């Protein structure tokens, strides 16, 4: 679970104890993950990028054969 057990969570960011382990915060924060843009917001899925400059067939791009006449 991303948040962890309620008894292990605190409102503040996790801190290291004497043994070097993270305590407090949410379970995902205790893994050492970095927040998005320095906030307490974390990505939980993978993303991918795609090109926006692709050209595909559209209704305006009709093709006519030699038998048909265009308007």
Q: What tens digit of pLDDT does each residue of 26-59 get?
A: 888 888 888 888 788 887 777 777 767 766 776 6
What is this structure's pTM?
Answer: 0.53
- Tokens representing 36? 């998005």
Which residue ranges make up each domain of the chain? 1-40
Burial of 24 (0-12, 13-18, 19+ CB in 10 A): middle
Helix or strand holding residue 15 (H, E) = strand 15-16
């Amino acid at each position: 679970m991303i948040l962890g057990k309620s008894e292990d969570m605190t409102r503040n960011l996790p801190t290291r104890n004497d043994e070097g382990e993270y305590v407090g915060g949410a379970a995902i924060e205790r893994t050492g993950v970095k927040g998005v843009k320095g906030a307490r917001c974390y990505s939980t899925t993978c993303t991918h990028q795609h090109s926006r400059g692709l050209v595909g067939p559209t209704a305006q791009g009709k093709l006519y054969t030699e038998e048909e006449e265009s308007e």
